[in-house]
A and B are shown apart, each in its own frame.
Chain A
Amino acid sequence: MSLAIAESPVSRSIALDVEAVSHRYELDGKELQVLDGVSLSIAPGEFVALLGPSGCGKSTLLRLAAGLETPTAGSVREDGRPITAPDPDRILVFQDATLFPWRTVRANVATGLEARGLLRAQAHRIDEVLRLVKLEGFAEFFPHQLSGGMAQRAALARALVNDPKLLLLDEPFGKLDSLTRLRMQNELLDLWKSAGFTALLVTHDVEEALLLADRVIVLSDRPASIVAEVRVDQPHPRRRDDATLVALRRSLLEKLGISHDV
């Protein structure tokens, strides 16, 4: 809708560079290596999907890009500048909607503006964004009154109201039923096209990656490293029974170590 106000899409997105990033956690005194020499470059406005087995460290990569953690080795940069702290330009959407249960949908969406002292100046944007995610009738509802899909839409709205230049999505539709998931995938695609942000989606759903992304990056089991990279040139809207996508799906599944009989 009116999100792209008079600005060109390029200035509203950023390039993300991950260079030779390794990351370790300390867990019960034991070192746990989750990322091993991961390098990738994402162009402004690109939609990239990270595909990998669960627990392989995909989410860690998102946390690094969000600035919630800094890598043990290597660097993560936005438009060439190192990422050291969280910033509302780069927003993370979690698998659980993690809406604040004590805030109404409207107050949840307003969180980012409120935290940065922009609430007074940009309050009108809350209604715009709520309309965008089709929650305009639910502004005064509390999170416990929402369905899973609505909650995830509210979480998206809470991210989008800040005009993020990079949207980091951590299996955002992982817990939704399959019909809601299909609908939300299309909605996300529309939002991405109209708002023009760079998107990095973590998923373990091969179809979801192929339907949405310009590029699919396959990660290995922990410690994660990049094992394959597939470019998807099919124009949107994509059909899941498209012959090229079916072939890509088979080759991706093989790269994930699953035989082609599946």
Chain B
Amino acid sequence: MSAAVEETFGGAGRQPFALTAAGIWRNGLLAAGTWFLAAALTYGLPDVIVWGATDAFAAVMLAGAGVFLTLSVTVHRLGGLGRTLVHYGPWFVVLGLWLAAWEVLTAKLGWLPKPFFSPPQGLLHVYVTDWERLLICVAYTGRLWGLGFFSGILVGFAAGVALGWSKRFAYWGMPLLKLIGPVPASAWIPCTFFIFPTTFHASIFLVALASGIPVAILTAAGVGQVNRSFYDVARTLGADNRFLVLKVAIPASLPNVFVGLFMGLYYSFAVLVVAEMLGAKFGLGWYLQFNTAYSAYANVYAALIVMALICAGLVRLLFLVRDRLLGWQKGIL
């Protein structure tokens, strides 16, 4: 047993192909077991309070168990996708256990009570009944976030290059940036109401500010740190200032810029709730506030999970862009 546990929890790194000789994916089998356990507990034990989609959740878990059971013998035929699945095998096993424990502690024992906690079927119920509204919220938030984030990083990047390149710009700009940087987004709300024609513009500004400031600071630092000899070399080769900025300073500071982009991405998500306080009719941030006000915490959790998944997806996307642009760094880092 302990050997099996060791293989499940400590084995992913050392054994990328945790397949036995017979071609059975052991972790897939274990995941099927834990998911089936969750399904059985959900279906078999009575709920202390009535929740929405108990049977539906049991069905989902059962289906999951079936999928893992099938995968445990077929995963090695799936190539790259199969390798990824095998890599995350231990996670699937634990996920089943975690869902089972969550189910028991909330719906079956009531130790984590309503309305502060919700069993998994409560969240599932939200997705099943409120998916249309959630989808609209995702679209609204996507529009706000997209406009805010991209305008923010664009301005932040340009300001950062200017701050890092020009001493005069840095003299006036750096103290301002250091003052503005730590001001919380909500403190801007009174000003933004006055400055911007609509609350939507004000919201965009808040998201842009949150994402732009880390980009500006890190870009400025990156441009300032560029090895002086690179400039000397480029100048002796006939480079003008334009070339020095575009072809030397900017590429040399890109690793820093990406650190700023990652920070800006996280901050921009954190500020969404505040930004959607400003008279928004839809949006994930708005959805969170609205349902918090009504103590509909299941809806809050459901929306939080959607937000977290979107953020994680965007981070992954940004990693892909970075690896593509900074391939030359391999071996340096």
Contacts and interface: CB of A to CB of B under 8 A. Distances in A.
Interface of A: 63, 66-68, 86-88, 90-92, 94, 96, 98, 100-103, 111-112, 114-116, 142-145, 158, 162
Contacts, number: 75
Interface in B206-263: 227, 229-230, 232-240, 243, 247-248, 251-252, 254
Interface string B313-333: 000000000000011111110
Interface residues on B, range: 20 to 34
A92 B236 contact: yes
Interface of B: 227, 229-230, 232-240, 243, 247-248, 251-252, 254, 326-332
A144 B232 contact: no
Which secondary structure characterizes the binding site on chain B?
helix
Contacts of A98: 227, 229-230, 233
A102 B229 contact: no
A103 B230 CA distance: 12
B150 to A, nearest CB: 24
A102 B232 contact: no
B248 A100 contact: yes
B311 to A, nearest CB: 29
A142 B328 contact: yes
B238 A88 contact: yes
15 contacts: A63-B232, A68-B235, A68-B236, A88-B238, A91-B237, A94-B233, A98-B229, A102-B328, A103-B251, A103-B328, A111-B239, A115-B240, A115-B247, A116-B238, A162-B237
Given A68-B232, A142-B328, A100 B237 contact: no
A103 B254 CA distance: 13
Contacts of B227: 98
B239 A115 contact: yes
A115 B238 contact: yes
A112 to B, nearest CB: 4
Contacts of A144: 328, 330-332
> What 10 A-B pairs are tightest by C-beta distance, nearest first?
A112-B237, A88-B238, A115-B239, A144-B331, A102-B251, A86-B235, A116-B238, A115-B238, A86-B236, A102-B328
B243 to A, nearest CB: 5
A145 B331 contact: yes
Given A67-B236, A87-B238, A142-B330, 9 more contacts: A66-B236, A100-B233, A101-B332, A111-B247, A112-B237, A112-B238, A115-B238, A158-B233, A162-B237
B252 A102 contact: yes
B288 to A, nearest CB: 41
Given A98-B227, A144-B330, A111 B254 contact: no
A50 to B, nearest CB: 18
B264 to A, nearest CB: 22
A91 B240 contact: no
Contacts of A102: 251-252, 254, 326, 328
A133 B280 CA distance: 64
A144 B332 CA distance: 7
Contacts of A142: 327-328, 330-331
